[in-house]
Amino acid sequence: MTPHNRSVTSTTELSRAEERAILMVTCLAAFLFFNSFGSISVALPTIQKQFGNSLAEIQWVTLMGVVTISSLSFCFGRAGGILGQRRLYKIGVALYSAGAGLGALAFSFRQLLLARAVMALGLAMALPMSTALLAGSVAAERRGQALGTFASAVAVGRMTGPTVGGFLLQLGGWTWIFWMNFVVGFAVTLAVVKIFRGAGERRPEKFDAWGSLTLLIGYPALLVGLSFGARLGWSSLWVIGWFAIAAIGLASFIGVELRAAKPLIDLRIFRSRALSAAMVALILSHMIYNPVALTAPLYLQNVLGASALAAGFLLALMPLSTALASPLSGRLADRFDAASVTTVGVALLVAAIAAYAFLGVDSHFAAVGAVLALLGAGVGFFTPANQKLAFASVAKEDYGVLAAMLSSFGTAAGTIGTTLVVALMELAGHDALWKSPAVFAGAQQFAFAWLVPIGLLAIGIGLRARGRKNSPGEIKES
């Protein structure tokens, strides 16, 4: 009997057909989630005009999602073990769908922000649970391939989001984008409920409420401060205030965690050198490649004079190559040492960033496309192999927290990397950065040249982690 006529009720001893069903539904949900990021972003100018909001107000539509997902993922990652990962995953997908429906019915900007908050809350539940459930459901010898397919679905969602959003925007307006997410999300919710019957494995333990509270004070404030600091200036009282809140909250969080009997983030899992290497590589890699998402569209259109359509096609090469490389990375990680495949991915990232640092005012579109494709391939090779390495380094009961760390640490590192690049570009370009294409290109070269040593450090860490796959006491394959 296949998963098409019965539900998956246990995370152990699953058949290949059941594994494929779980992979299919989690990939479909991930595609929907990441497609919505791009489709909704395309609609922001239209939403701004309809409700008459300022740029600072409208950016909260996107920022709210990033902050909510990154901050609450840790809480839900731990809560998944207590309440059941499957239960939280189903609730998360359902909340996302309901929030999309509320967004489609919004008659004011405040109502739209409320709807986005509901969607973000659902995503904060579902995203860490999806990789945790996938890693826990698929046999260890096929885990890399499953994670690679999942990463490919994420990349395809990112790639098609702006196109889908633009098409729906032209067809019926921005509300159609939310209606699409509601309808598809409702269908995915039904599939998730069908496949994941029951709450899942649960452990009766106390939830670290004080740790969660202090983290929810400090971590969002840090992300908001980093996001606004690059725009408003680091001496702005608004930015300084956010950093002060972050310092108080995070310092309190560390103090609470050191005394908690069952902390939100058990620092003992970092005794595994393989896990520590995987997390440091994750942080450094996100720092060097995330800034491209900000600078590349500006460089293509303001320096090289590319049309919005041409820029869109060139930028799509990055997620496209990620989608193609991710399954290959997963298969290689299953067959060989995952740390070695991770190091190859980081090496591709560093090579792409070094090449990006050479792009100037006279660069051809083909050269830019080749660099973006190489960068996407690096992301595709790095992500599944590094995730396999990380999941193989902890006990199954910590999969939810680990999945949250992979998501949240990557987001924070990407924000820090983008902030660093903006600061370096402003340092190099001074007052002429946004006035002269040549100055912008030179400042971009200067900033990304400084990222190369960070990438080389990540390669060194990856090389030290090689061969640790079977180190006793460190890696616990489930």
> Is the confidence at residue 217, as pLDDT, over 50?
yes
pLDDT digits (tens, 9 = 90+) for 130-140: 888 888 888 87
Condensed to tens digits (0 to 9), the pLDDT of residues 53-65 reads 665 566 667 667 7
Instruction: Give me the mean pLDDT over the 445-450 stretch.
Output: 91
Q: Which residue has the higher pLDDT, 208 or 327?
A: 327
DSSP 3-state of 302? helix
Phi, psi angles (nearest 5°) of residue 470: -110, 25
Query: What's the whole-number mean pLDDT along residues 180-197?
Result: 90
- CATH code: domain of residue 425: 1.20.1250.20
What is the token pair recorded at 224? 């908001």
Tally of domains within the chain: 3
CA dihedral 383, 183, 59, 379 (to 10 degrees): 10
Res 3: pLDDT: 42
235 lies in the same domain as 361? no
Residue 377 tokens read as: 């391939």
- The answer to whether the CB of 387 falls within 8 A of the CB of 131 is yes
Are 321 and 458 contained in the same domain? yes
Task: Note the pLDDT of residue 375.
Answer: 94
Check if the beta carbon of residue 312 is closer than 8 Å to that of residue 162. Answer: yes
Higher pLDDT, 386 or 80: 386
* 2 lies in some domain: no
- Amino acid identity for residue 73 in this structure: S
Listed range (71-85, 135-149, 440-454) with the worst mean pLDDT: 71-85
Determine which of 74-78, 221-225, 332-336, 347-351 has the lowest per-residue pLDDT on average: 74-78
Q: Give the domain extent around 415.
A: 270-478
pLDDT confidence bin for 325, thresholds 50/70/90:
very high
Report pLDDT for 348: 93
Same domain, 37 and 60: yes
- Residue from 272, 264, 253, 279 nearest 81 by CA: 264
CA 91 → CA 123, 234, 445, 466, distances in Å? 10, 39, 45, 39
Residue 220 and residue 202 in one domain: no
Give yes or no: residues 461 and 447 share one domain: yes
Q: Are residues 187 and 290 in the same domain?
A: no
Reported for 431-435, long-range contacts at CB under 8 A and 24+ positions apart, including other chains, are: none
The Cα–Cα gap between 166 and 450 comes to: 36
Shared domain check, 339 and 192: no
pLDDT of residue 94: 94
Q: What is the pLDDT at residue 358? A: 92
Amino acid at 275: L
Q: Is the dihedral of CA 378, 384, 387, 389 positive or negative?
A: negative
Q: 145 and 243 share a domain? A: no
* Residue 471 DSSP symbol: -
Q: pTM of the entire structure?
A: 0.78
Lowest-confidence region among 372-381, 402-411, 442-451: 402-411
In a domain, 3, yes or no: no
245 assigned to some structural domain = yes
Sequence-ordered list of residues with C-beta below 8 angstroms from that of 107, at least 6 positions apart, any chain: none
Same domain, 298 and 407: yes
46 part of a folded domain: yes
Q: What is the pLDDT of residues 270-320, one digit of tens each?
A: 777 778 888 888 888 898 888 888 788 888 888 888 887 788 888 889 999
Q: Residue 41 falls within a domain, yes or no?
A: yes
Q: Which of 180, 206, 232 is the last residue of a domain?
A: 206
- Residue 242 in this model has a pLDDT that exceeds 50: yes
- Please state, in angstroms and rounded to a whole number, the distance separating the CA atoms of residues 337 and 260: 36
Residue predicted with more confidence, 95 or 210: 95
Least confident of 92-106, 191-205, 362-376: 191-205
On whether both 227 and 180 belong to a single domain, the answer is no
Place of tokens 């839900």: 76
In a domain, 39, yes or no: yes
- Domain-terminating residue out of 159, 178, 206: 206
Q: Which residues pair with 196 in a beta bridge?
A: 8
Q: Per the domain annotation, does 1 fall within a domain? A: no
Q: Looking at the structure, tell me whether residues 199 and 231 fall in a common domain.
A: no
Q: Is 283 a domain residue?
A: yes
Same domain, 115 and 237: no
Assess whether pLDDT exceeds 90 at residue 145.
Answer: no
User: Residue 371: is its pLDDT beyond 90?
Assistant: yes
